[in-house]
Structure 1
Amino acid sequence: MAAPSARPPSLHTAVPAPAPLVVGDDRTVRLISLGGAHTDGLLTRIAGDIGEAVGAVEKFWGTDWDHEIVVIATDSQEQFVAQAGLAPDGNWADIAAVSVADHVDFAHRHASGQRMVFAPGAANMSAGSLRIVLTHELFHLAARADTALDAPRWLLEGVADFVARPPEPLPRDAAADTALPTDSDLDVAGPQRERGYDRAWWFARFVAESYGVDALRRLYVEACGPGHGDFDTAVRRALGTDTGELRARWAQWLTR
């Protein structure tokens, strides 16, 4: 889940952090625990997976992004909501982690205060699920300075899942809805949000398989980058087609 801008409270409750890791294209990883019985174990697991996650993001997005990666493990839902800058009255129980920044300077392609914040429930995730969440949030961090604040959230999440999730067969009811995904699909916690994320992921897979992985990256830049135009224009520029043809091919892909 991407949260483009948020100002957290002070991290004065953090326990002493281990020495930073250096992974990938000379990137420094700082692991910060906010205390509790499970945060150290979670950060140890993240440390073991971060190199692979960096490699996956670099393979899709390139290497021109932040060289400092901050990971915060929280011990309570209250800590998670505060550190992530989420609305206190929101329903975030099904969110395992977010990637946030204090400020983004799009003119200079620089994001300050970037970090990935993990909810306490992330400690209970399977090894595979944790790797997916870590890589997903790392993509948001990598793309932050190239992602407009008003970018379509469904495409942000779909591309992040494309980078993070291994392909798997579509469910039998995938073609029950052949409309393009929308941001509203992600608004309601529970099964609707889960399905919304899946459909956004399927769409990214569809674009990569039908037009190429480079075309999917171009679509992200055209549809989500600072100063982006409307989605129809982004589709024409990135994919060389119109949204009518795109929707038809998308529906066909879902029913294959």
Structure 2
Amino acid sequence: MAAAVPFDAVRESRIRPAQLVTPARSQVSASTKSITVGDRTVRLRGLGGAASDRLLSRVASTMGAAIAAVESFWGADWPHEVSVVAAGTDEEFRAAAGGGPASQWADIAAVTVVDSVDPVRRVAVGQRIVFAPGAANMSAASLRIVLTHELFHYAARVDTIADAPRWLTEGVADFVGRPPTPVPTDTLLPMTLPTDSDLDVPGAQRSLAYDRAWWFARFVADTFGPPKLRDLYLATCGIRHADMAAAGQDVLGASPAGLLTRWQQWLTH
């Protein structure tokens, strides 16, 4: 199970993704260190030598702010041990992300993976945030967004069912991680809510899909309040989840058509 964020989805403005230029196979030994942030222990494992260590040092410096952002929205009831890995090669990153063709992961900055989840007991085994080598080229602001986005996935994993609508999990993670910025004036009004398949095509289509999911999450938080966005996540993505239409009606008191209309109005104001 994996939850990823593309480079282009975390741009402060529209920029090209960081280039992933690394050796085919890592030639260095892994390094591991731990830091304490409040009452949480963060274990940092670098697979790419000095380059990975530098990236993890940057991750460590912003971890406190990322944890605070996640706790502010989600609460503090999530694992107190956090594992972060910096892949040394694109090959290592693809393997950690679940395999597949290189093009599928070419624009992905980081992914949160887990070996198994027991949502009834709220236990996740083998969970870790894995950064691609190209993440080392991101600005401080973009790295903070990516880390906070993935840390939300880490925090919410035990409360997220395997078949949850991925677009909503990504949109809420972006709401937690990304600062609000104006919606571009040339944005075409969406005729439907985003879908999971919208996230599966690398490049501009995937970037726009992440934006649409983010805008929807922001709309819900702006219109109904952040606690209602959290409630909608649990109602739609949690163990007793309903479909989006039923959850929207139960949590927000809005029909699918009404929700879409209000979202479109929000996008233009």
Normalising to structure 1: TM-score of the pair?
0.92
Does residue 80 (structure 1) correspond to residue 81 (structure 2)? The answer is no
Matched, 1:31 2:44: yes
8 A contact 1:14–1:32 mirrored in 2: no
Does the Cα contact within 8 Å between 1:101 and 1:114 map onto a contact in 2? yes
Partner of 2:3: 2
Distance 2:252 2:173 in 1: 19
Match of 1:16 in 2: 31
SS of the residue 1:51 aligns to:
helix
1:53-72 to 2 correspondences below 5 Å = 53-72=66-85
Whole-Å separation in 1 of the counterparts to 2:29 and 2:175: 33
Paired residue type of 1:17: T
Counterpart for residue 242 of structure 1: 255
Q: Any residues of structure 2 matched to 1:98-177 within 5 Å, and which? A: 98-177=111-190
User: What amino acid is the match of 1:172?
Assistant: T
Residue in 1 that maps onto 2:14? none
SS for the counterpart of 2:231 is: helix
Give the structure 2 partner of residue 194 of structure 1: 207
1:50 alignment partner in structure 2: 63
- Give the letter aligned to residue 219 of structure 1: L
Preserved contact between residue 34 and residue 73 of structure 1 (Cα < 8 Å):
yes
Q: Secondary structure, in 3 states, of the residue corresponding to 1:104?
A: strand
Q: Secondary structure at the match of 2:105?
A: coil
Q: Distance in 1 between matches of 2:191 and 2:218?
A: 15
Farther off after superposition, 239-248 or 107-116: 239-248
Compute the displacement of 1:227 (Å). Answer: 3.0
Partner Cα separation in structure 1 for residue 155 and residue 132 of structure 2: 20
Q: Which residue of 2 aligns with 1:95?
A: 108
Give 1:107's aligned amino acid: V
Deviations 1:12-32 (A, max 9, x none): x752312x11113x1100000
Contact 2:84 2:130 in 1 (8 A): yes
Q: CA deviation at 1:56?
A: 0.3
Work out the CA distance in 2 between the residues paired with 1:203 and 1:176: 12
Shift of 1:245: 1.1
**Aligned AA (2:141):** G
Distance 1:130 1:56 in 2: 14
In the comparison of the two structures, how many residue pairs are matched?
Answer: 247
CA distance in 1, matches of 2:253, 2:60: 41
Structure 1 regions of 5+ residues with no counterpart? 4-12
Pairwise CA distance, 1:90:
5.2
Partners of 1:245 and 1:176 in 2: how far apart?
Answer: 15
- Gaps in structure 2 of 5+ consecutive residues: 5-27
- What secondary structure is seen at the aligned counterpart in 2 of 1:181? coil
Question: How far apart are residue 89 of structure 1 and its match?
Answer: 5.3
Residue 83 of structure 1 and its aligned partner are, at CA, apart by 2.1
For residues 168 and 105 of structure 2, what CA distance do their matches in structure 1 show? 20
Q: Distance in 2 between matches of 1:219 and 1:54?
A: 22
Q: Which amino acid aligns with 1:187?
A: D
- The DSSP-based 3-state class of the residue aligned with 1:87 is coil
Q: What is the one-letter code of the residue matched to 1:134?
A: L
